């Protein structure tokens, strides 16, 4: 129902008429075709015969060139230009183990993967970053930040600072605020890069101030000097 109110002058400028108007036989247009995403085509295409492979040592993984080009600009460049990879349709990887490569490829294909531990996911993240697989990087960073533990604190801190990830740095500082007593006594923390510790210290102060703490925890750099 649509309601219209309009001034009508019948000798008085203040006269007001209210009209209730009902339109019948009118329906909102429906989108008969549901939204199609590129992933719908992607899922269908993985049944096509493979035309490339990834090798790690003496193991290999059959893949599709178009899929690799879609998920990674680094791999796209390798297959596009006059390179060894383009000529042989083979990507030879030496930086990580086969299990990590398979986990990443399976995840990108939408298949089940075998990663279970923090280190497994961390290895996947490092490989995804190496080949600039952004959608997977974003998901892995979110998962690892949520699952951060005392024993994985320094590994994740190294990643966040080495790759300059501001959001992750803040999460790490917040985690340190809650778990500092357990972290500072660990050997891996004592061996953590001094510049990283100094920056964590700065962020911890900011976090505590935002939380309204009047007493700021002792500086991390100072704690490390005691060892």
pLDDT tens for 134-176 read 999 999 999 999 999 999 999 999 999 999 999 999 999 999 9
Q: Are 163 and 140 in contact (CB under 8 A)?
A: no
pLDDT tens for 53-73 read 999 999 999 999 989 999 999
From residue 137, alpha-carbon distances to 131, 132, 217, 223 in Å are 10, 8, 33, 33
Q: Is the dihedral of CA 161, 181, 219, 146 positive or negative?
A: positive
* CB atoms inside a 10 Å sphere around CB 182: 14
Calculate mean pLDDT across residues 184-196.
94
What is d(CA 19, CA 112) in angstroms, rounded to the nearest whole number?
61
pTM for the whole thing?
A: 0.74
Task: Give the tokens for residue 210.
Answer: 């935002």
**Secondary structure of the chain in HEC code, one letter for each residue:** CEEEEEECCCCCCCCEEEEEECCCCCCCCCCCCCCCCHHHHHHHHCCCCCCEEEEECCEEEEECHHHHHHHCHHHHHHHHCCCHHHHHCEEECCCCCHHHHHHHHHHHHCCCCCCCCHHHHHHHHHHHHHCCCHHHHHHHHHHHHHCCCHHHHHHHHHHHHHCCCHHHHHHHHHHHHHHHHHHCCCHHHHCCCHHHHHHHHHHHHHHHHHCCCCCCCCCHHHHHHCC
Q: Which domains does the chain have, with CATH numbers?
A: 38-147 (3.30.710.10), 150-227 (no CATH)
Q: How high is the mean pLDDT of the chain? A: 84
pLDDT tens for 78-126 read 999 999 999 999 999 999 999 999 999 999 988 899 999 999 999 999 9
Helices 98-109, 118-130: inter-axial angle, 10-degree rounding: 80
**Vertex 164, ends 139 and 94: CA angle to 5°?**
70
Pairing state between β 52-56 and 16-21:
unpaired
């Amino acid at each position: 129902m649509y309601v219209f109110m309009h001034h009508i002058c019948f000798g008085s400028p203040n006269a007001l008429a209210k009209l209730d108007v009902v339109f019948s036989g009118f329906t909102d247009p429906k989108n008969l075709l549901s939204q199609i995403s590129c992933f719908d085509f992607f899922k269908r295409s993985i049944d096509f015969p493979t035309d490339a492979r990834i090798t790690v040592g003496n193991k290999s993984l059959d893949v599709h060139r178009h899929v690799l080009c879609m998920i990674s600009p680094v791999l796209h460049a390798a297959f596009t230009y006059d390179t060894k990879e383009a000529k042989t349709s083979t990507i030879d990887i030496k930086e990580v183990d086969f299990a990590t490569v398979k986990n990443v490829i399976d995840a990108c294909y939408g298949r089940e993967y075998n990663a279970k531990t923090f280190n497994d996911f961390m290895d996947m993240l490092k490989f995804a970053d190496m080949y600039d697989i952004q959608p997977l990087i974003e998901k892995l960073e979110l998962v690892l930040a949520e699952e951060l533990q005392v024993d994985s604190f320094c590994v994740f801190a190294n990643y966040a600072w080495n790759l300059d990830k501001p959001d992750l740095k803040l999460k790490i500082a917040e985690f340190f605020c809650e778990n500092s007593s357990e972290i500072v006594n660990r050997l891996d923390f004592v061996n953590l890069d001094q510049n990283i510790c100094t920056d964590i210290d700065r962020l911890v102060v900011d976090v505590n101030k935002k939380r309204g703490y009047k007493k700021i925890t002792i500086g991390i750099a100072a704690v490390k000097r005691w060892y």
